[in-house]
Amino acid sequence: MRKDLNSISDVLAGNAQGLSLAQIEAKTGVPKTSAKRILDTAKANGIDWAEFCRMSVEQQQNIFMPKRRMQMNFVEPDWKSIYLQHERPRRRVPLRVLWEQYAQSVSSSQRRLGYSSFCKSYEHYKLNLPVSMRDVSLSFQWEPGDVAMIDYSGDPLYYTGRDGVKHKADIFVGVLPFSNYIFCLATKDQTRQSWLLACRLMLEYFGGVPRYIYLDNSTGLVIKADRYNPKICNEFKAFSAYYGFCPYPVRPGHPRDKGAVEGAVGIVQRRITNRLSDIQFRSVEDVNESIRPLLQELNSKPLTERFETRAELHQEEVLLMTPLPSIAYELGQQEKILKVRKDYQIRLNNRRFSVPYQYAGKTVRVVCWPHKNILRVYDVLTGKQITEHHYDPLGVKQNILAEHMPPNHLAMMRSKENLLDMLEVFGSNTAELGKVITRNQPLRVARRLLTSILAAGHNLGGEAIENLAKRVLKRPSPTFETFRQELDSLSDTGSDSRSIRPPKEDPNIRGAAYYAKRLKETQSVGGKHE
């Protein structure tokens, strides 16, 4: 092994923590034999990890790396420019390309570094960088039960279905950064429904709900990625509102914002998926059956740094998390906040549904379960259910219920038979008159004529409209015109109207003049309908 100062520091730090050589190897990647030589050198010189950190780079190299590369008269590369090009976050230039550029700039009469020496010298340059140029990161101290992070692993598993075709099973990973408690699940894809299913099962596995869930800017959950104001899809908003956590998309291009789940993905790949990659699975369910015992084994293994298991730390953490709701979130649920139109209808997925006309212009909450063909509308302020509709994505595009209409609109929608039944209330003559004058009339015309007779009956009263209808029926060929003529003559003479005239001495009761005016208005309306 080629030693460097960082590896030496890691070995001494592990020894200071009381780790064995095997544990040091597992943590740092330094083989046990090399780690032993480093510890022997440190013991011979009376150096521990704290003393090593106080030494200068030159002192560290003299003790632990005495065989230094002989200095050669070569052209020194512009290490600062190389560093800025190689370490920039976007469009990083490979070291091979930078070395080729450096080699081309050196004349044949000068000596140049080979590619291997170039890389070693570059690593040495990075060790002595000033703090202003180093890639420094902030280490977060996560609060117990405060945050969970989710992502999909880049390495899937595969299963062969009944059709004999090989399918991909994507691996969802979730983690609680405080305890490093890990959850993983195989799904058929990375669609929105798969994300929601995985998140629901993750929360059930955790046994509680954190305050925040950090998520990648996946198109399945985030409609528009933005550093400051990302837009989350409505389905995930409804899901988060149901469980009571805040979804937090990380900054685009900053994977360290969710570094805990990035590390958890690597652990899952090494400890679980790599061990299952050679197994022949028949379904996603078979994949998850094999994942469960390995996941339990992973969470029950002691952590190197804390000497506790993930499960033990999680037992303390779950006490500080929000309890799960008694009923699990129902997948396939769509939820939107909509404004009721003037025609007391809402529009959802190119379909219209009525609500009580009193809610026209107001805002309501709409919850839809397409797989159950159910749509419910709730009052935003009270949370009370207003109405329910049958939802069929392939059915009729307009669902208008009669009980949602105002009286004047309902009258326009009544059938001919219904209007005739209403005329029966005034008497047999009125009902017979309605049948006679609407005989052989188109439906819409008949409905308009019957509505006019009904309005006249309400204005005159039952006895007066019955007498009028009896007189009209005695004519050779009763029509709506003869009905209007009789109605006009009744209004002019006022003979029958006197029988229903209210007492003048009562100031709170409308007089004959009012009813005569209303009668003329009714007649004018009836003429317009014609």
pLDDT in tens, 449-490: 777 787 787 777 777 888 888 888 888 888 888 788 778 777
Claim to verify: residue 385 and residue 443 sit in the same structural domain: no
Residues 280 and 373 placed together within one structural domain of the fold: no
Structural domain includes residue 137: no
| Nearest alpha carbon to residue 292 among 386, 183, 382 | 183
Dihedral-angle region of residue 308 (phi above 0 means left; psi in -120 to 50 means alpha; beta otherwise): beta
| Assigned domain for 521 exists | yes
Q: Is residue 327 part of a domain?
A: no
Specify whether 219 is located in the same domain as 299: yes
The answer, yes or no, to whether residue 26 has pLDDT greater than 90, is no
Q: Is residue 133 part of a domain?
A: no
Are both 370 and 478 inside the same structural domain? no
CATH of the domain at 392: 2.40.50
232 and 250 assigned to the same domain: yes
pLDDT of residue 212: 94
Domain membership of residue 104 (yes or no) is yes
320: pLDDT confidence band, cut at 50, 70 and 90? very high
**Residue 301 sits in the same domain as residue 157:** yes
Residues 387, 447: one domain?
Answer: no
* Cβ atoms of 263 and 280 closer than 8 Å: no
Instruction: Name the token pair of 264.
Output: 């958890």
Q: How many domains does the chain have?
A: 5
Domain stops at, among 404, 423, 444: 404
**313 pLDDT above the threshold of 60:** yes
- Residue 359 confidence (pLDDT) above 80: yes
Instruction: Tell me the C-alpha distance between 55 and 272, whole Å.
Output: 41
Q: What pLDDT band is residue 246 in, cutting at 50, 70 and 90?
A: very high
Collapsed DSSP state (helix, strand, coil) of residue 386: strand
Last residue within a domain, chosen from 404, 435, 459: 404
Does residue 120 carry a pLDDT above 50?
yes
142, part of any domain: no
Asked if residue 375 is part of any domain, the answer here is yes
Rg, Å, the chain Cα set: 41
182 plus 88 within the same structural domain: no
Do 422 and 398 belong together in one domain? Answer: no
Query: Which stretches of 17-162 are DSSP H helices?
Result: 21-28, 32-44, 49-54, 57-64, 79-87, 95-105, 115-127
In the chain, pLDDT over 90 holds for what percent of residues? Answer: 22
pLDDT of the residue at 525:
43
Q: Lowest mean pLDDT: which of 176-190, 335-349, 408-422?
A: 408-422
Q: Does residue 384 fall inside a structural domain? A: yes
Query: Which range, of 65-74, 147-156, 254-263, 480-489, averages the lowest pLDDT?
Result: 65-74
38-42, 153-157, 481-485: lowest mean pLDDT where? Answer: 481-485
Mean pLDDT over all residues of the chain?
A: 81
Q: Quickly tell me which residue has 């950190």 as its tokens.
A: 53
Same-domain pairing of 478 and 366: no
Asked if pLDDT for residue 524 goes beyond 60, the answer is: no
Query: CA torsion, points 368, 369, 372, 378, in degrees to nearest 10?
Result: -40
Compute the distance between CA of residue 265 and CA of residue 286 in angstroms, rounded to an integer.
21
Claim to verify: residue 152 and residue 295 sit in the same structural domain: yes
Instruction: Write out the residue range of the structural domain in which residue 278 sits.
Output: 147-320
Are residues 442 and 513 located together in one domain of the fold?
yes
